[in-house]
Amino acid sequence: MKFDLSYIIATYNRLPFLKITLEELIRELHPGEEIVVVDGNSSDGSKEYLQQFYADGKIHQYISEPDKNQAHAWNKAMLMAKGTLIKKIIDDDVFCYSAIRECKNFMLQNPAVDVVISNDLGSTLDNYKNIQKLSRFAQFEKWNKGLTPSFTFGDVHMLIRRNALAYIGLYNTTFVMMDWEYSLRISYLKANIAYYTGYNALSVAHPQSISSLKNNKLIEEQGKRGCVFYEYAGDGAEISLWSKVKIYAGKRLKATGHAVSSEDDNSTRDIGGIYRFYYNYISDLNNSQGFSFLQKD
């Protein structure tokens, strides 16, 4: 079967978030779209939960096996995807599917476009009503005018044309900040990037998502390597822009003395209610005004 869009998910031991995100995606799925899930051999019930959805035909492709790292898992999902376009769905973030389809339709109507990115929203789970509007539009414009050879953006709001992978490649599995390196590479290669001024994603930070607090020395070394290789001079954010909201959350948790562990106690939070607030917020925002696409010159 031919698909125009593949939604890909890579997950590992985050069942409470996965349930919300996957079930919302299944409700929003349109004909001609597929769901591809790569599970890293979870031990929290995710594997059995996903197997049932796959058996029921709600998931089109599914595997569960150990991964070497996150980039490895996402690369497997991209290689499995059959759609003309690929959209990454992160299990603990929030997505506006009407905005994603605006981006999908634009790319289908403009086959020369390799990648579409959009504005982003950011929030922390412990202060969920404080939502930041994040944009890389100024950096995109500077790059588009040829004033800088590369720029950074998050992949949470990115759509990729599958046949562009032959040119831009997959994630570099040696980078902890894999999407930071990927964005620099995509722009440095002068891929055809278009910018959507709406918001197709909302990044959610919580202790389980804060990889910015780990491997600081490695991240610094990789940041220097990436800046040299892609002639990236920085724009005030440096490598921290890879996960601006999550690094903010990490500092916030350190300041409040909240321990960062592999397991965040979500039992005292109404996770479902918080995520309903997020989904309503991003939907209302996108419906409140018109947005446009800007193409590479």
Q: Where do runs of H (alpha helix) occur along the chain? A: 15-28, 46-55, 70-80, 97-109, 137-144, 165-168, 178-188, 216-229, 244-256, 271-287
Q: How far apart are CA 291 and CA 282, in angstroms?
A: 13
User: Three-state SS for 37?
Assistant: strand
Number of structural domains in the chain: 1
Q: Would 216 be classed as within a structural domain?
A: yes
Q: What is the pLDDT of residue 220?
A: 80
Q: Is residue 143 part of a domain?
A: yes
**Position 76 in a domain:** no
Q: Alpha-carbon distance 214 to 243, whole Å?
A: 13
DSSP character string of 209-241: G-GGGS-HHHHHHHHHHHHHHTT----SSGGGG
Token pair for residue 195?
Answer: 């910018």
Which single residue is written with the structure tokens 């100024």? Answer: 138
Domain membership flag for residue 263: yes
Q: pLDDT tens-digit profile of 9-56?
A: 999 999 999 999 999 999 999 999 999 999 999 999 999 999 999 999
Check residue 255 and give its pLDDT: 46
What per-residue confidence (pLDDT) applies to 209?
A: 66
On whether the pTM is more than 0.85, the answer is yes
What's the count of helices (H) and strands (E) in the chain, helices before strands? 10, 10
Residue 248: predicted pLDDT? 44
Question: Does residue 68 fall inside a structural domain?
Answer: no
Helix (H) or strand (E) holding 158: none
pLDDT given for residue 72 in this prediction: 97
Domain limits at 125?
A: 116-152+171-297
Kindly report the number of other CB atoms within 10 A of residue 65's CB atom.
11
What's the gap between Cα 239 and its chain centre? 16
Please, which residues bridge with residue 124 across strands?
205
Residue 92 covered by a domain: no
In a domain, 37, yes or no: no
What lies within 8 Å, CB to CB, of 200 at 6+ separation is: 95, 96, 99, 100, 102, 103, 118, 157, 286
> How far are the Cα atoms of 96, 152, 168, 193, 223 from residue 187, in angstroms, in the given order?
25, 8, 9, 8, 16
Domain membership flag for residue 132: yes
pLDDT by residue for the chain (297 residues), tens digit each?
899 999 999 999 999 999 999 999 999 999 999 999 999 999 999 999 999 999 999 999 999 999 999 999 999 999 999 999 999 999 999 999 999 999 999 999 999 999 999 999 999 998 999 999 999 999 999 999 999 999 999 999 999 999 999 999 999 999 988 999 999 999 999 999 999 999 999 999 887 664 544 567 777 888 888 899 999 987 655 444 444 444 444 444 444 444 333 344 454 479 999 999 999 999 999 999 899 999 987
